[in-house]
Amino acid sequence: MYSNRYIFTYAAVLVIVAAALLSLAAMLLKPFQERNLAIEKMRGILTSAQVTQANASNAIPLFNKYIVKELVIDSKGNVLNSYTKSPKEDAPAFKLNLKEELYNKSQKRPYKLPLYIAEKDGKTIYIIPMRGTGLWGPIWGNIALTSDFKRVIGVFFDDKEETPGLGGEIAKPKFQNEFIGKTIFDDNGNFTSIKVVKGGVIKLPEAQRIHGVDALSGATLTSNGVNDMLRNVLKSYLPYIKNHR
């Protein structure tokens, strides 16, 4: 029979070997995981700009084709970095951690924001990344605006934890397509954001319906999360927008 010392030594060696193999696997897989995350990020940005053919195999070349400039801006709307070279995924704006920057804002600390500029069909499109909180966890996405920052070209939303068939519908084209053509400023230039309205935009005065979309049925808290995300993030970009409209 084996002694207790032998058994413990054998088990310890197995644990060490297993841990080493797992660490090696994680290290080897990390570049692939980071690449996949970057591709998903590119697809979200492109989808909001109505580059709907983007997929895992062509997202990188399409991103480098349509995104002509990436900016890092500060809380006052000043441009801290402007990047036009390729590959576009090397830009400081693309590498910026929006979650951390928005947290810095919430703590009243200095923060930076990414902004993407695309050229499609001869038109300039500004793409703003967003991040917020849904019912069960984080939600995120992008909103693409016309060159005067007024009208919505398209949006992209995603999540990991919202309820399928309810809050999870924010990731579906049916909900996202409602935003196309909506405006975030009124005719007097006042910021309105886009309201996600429980019971539908029919509840808004007719003149305000251009600034609203229908909330998701049975997903009030997720709809509220999208509403708050749009308002809070877009407000952060107002200094830049007002300087460039």
230 has a pLDDT exceeding 60: yes
Exposed / middle / buried, residue 151 (Cβ in 10 Å: 0-12, 13-18, 19+): middle
26 has a pLDDT exceeding 60: no
Q: Is the model more confident about 149 or about 15? A: 149
Model confidence pLDDT, tens digit, residues 98-114? 999 999 999 999 999 99
pLDDT of amino acid 19:
62
pLDDT of amino acid 31:
57
Which residues are CB-contacts of 155 (< 8 A; sequence separation ≥ 6)? 48, 141, 142, 143, 144, 176, 179, 180
Among 1-5, 12-16, 34-38, which is the least confidently predicted range? Answer: 1-5
Among 52-61, 87-96, 102-111, which is the least confidently predicted range? Answer: 52-61
Among 21-30, 103-112, 206-215, 234-243, which is the least confidently predicted range? Answer: 21-30
Angle formed at CA 186 by CA 152 and CA 224, multiple of 5 degrees: 60
33 has a pLDDT exceeding 90: no
How far does the chain reach from its first CA to its final CA, in angstroms? Answer: 82
In whole angstroms, what is the distance from residue 98 CA to residue 109 CA?
A: 14
In whole angstroms, what is the distance from residue 114 CA to residue 71 CA?
A: 6
What pTM was computed for the model? 0.87
241 has a pLDDT exceeding 70: yes
Portion of the chain with pLDDT greater than 70, in percent: 87
The two tokens of residue 140 are 């995120």
In whole angstroms, what is the distance from residue 112 CA to residue 130 CA?
A: 13
The two tokens of residue 11 are 């088990």
In whole angstroms, what is the distance from residue 117 CA to residue 79 CA?
A: 13
Cα-only R_g, the chain? 22
pLDDT of amino acid 16:
74
Model confidence pLDDT, tens digit, residues 153-174? 999 999 988 999 999 999 999 9
29 has a pLDDT exceeding 60: no
Peptide bond just before 87 cis, omega within 30 deg = yes
Exposed / middle / buried, residue 100 (Cβ in 10 Å: 0-12, 13-18, 19+): exposed
Strands 212-214 and 67-74: unpaired
The mean per-residue pLDDT over the stretch 120-143 comes to 96
Q: Which long-range contacts (CB under 8 A, 24 or more apart) does 142-149 make?
A: 142/44, 142/45, 142/47, 142/48, 142/116, 143/48, 143/179, 143/230, 143/234, 144/48, 144/49, 144/50, 144/118, 145/184, 147/123, 148/245, 149/184, 149/185, 149/241, 149/244, 149/245
Among residues 225, 219, 224, the alpha carbon closest in space to that of 169 is found at 219
17 has a pLDDT exceeding 90: no
The two tokens of residue 145 are 């605006």
The mean per-residue pLDDT over the stretch 63-74 comes to 97
pLDDT grade for 192, boundaries at 50, 70 and 90: very high
